[in-house]
Structure 1
């Protein structure tokens, strides 16, 4: 008889508070609606610690092209300009009529 395979225990990696906040902010910035309107408001949650919040806000303030507005309710509104690729007008190609081969 063959021995049953022993599975190795899966190690669950705990996500730190700063990683969790960074992922949430990144997801909000990269959301299609935020990309179209070029702004997003980030609300501070009860689970966001002071150190984590200050660290992520510090990183955002050092990022070129982002304008930060600190609101009275402890939220932060980020605004940015379109990148050079987004400013370029879309190229529209005219359909070419092909002659029938017969």
Structure 2
């Protein structure tokens, strides 16, 4: 019988502040309610650093499909239009494929 090696616990890798903010913003934009209304307001939290906030807002403002409104209370409202799958260049849609349902 072969002996199994004990696995050494790997160090838990913490998320950076930029990753945490990016994940929060992405989650808010991808939320089903935000997707149905096609807008979301992102509030800056006390834990969001200046550098991280500027980086994420810069990335959002560089995205041509998004319209950003910087509000007086330091929040940002992100709006977007509904797009057809054919208009997107990051999504491949193959036409002509039909699947026969077995029931």
TM-score (norm 2): 0.76
Structure 1 or 2, whichever has the larger Rg, is 1
Question: How many corresponding residue pairs?
Answer: 85
Matched position secondary structure for 1:13: coil
Aligned twin of 2:45: 45
After TM superposition, what 4+ stretches of structure 1 lie above 2 angstroms from structure 2? 2-7
Partner of 1:69: 69
Q: Deviations 1:22-76 (Å, cap 9, x if unpaired)? A: 0000000000000000000000001100000000000000001100000111000
TM-score (norm 1): 0.77
Q: Does 1:23 align with 2:23?
A: yes
Could you say what the CA RMSD is over the residues aligned between the two structures, in angstroms?
Answer: 1.8
1:74-99, Cα deviation, whole Å (9 max, x unpaired): 000000000113xxxxxxxxxxxxxx
Shift of 1:3: 6.8
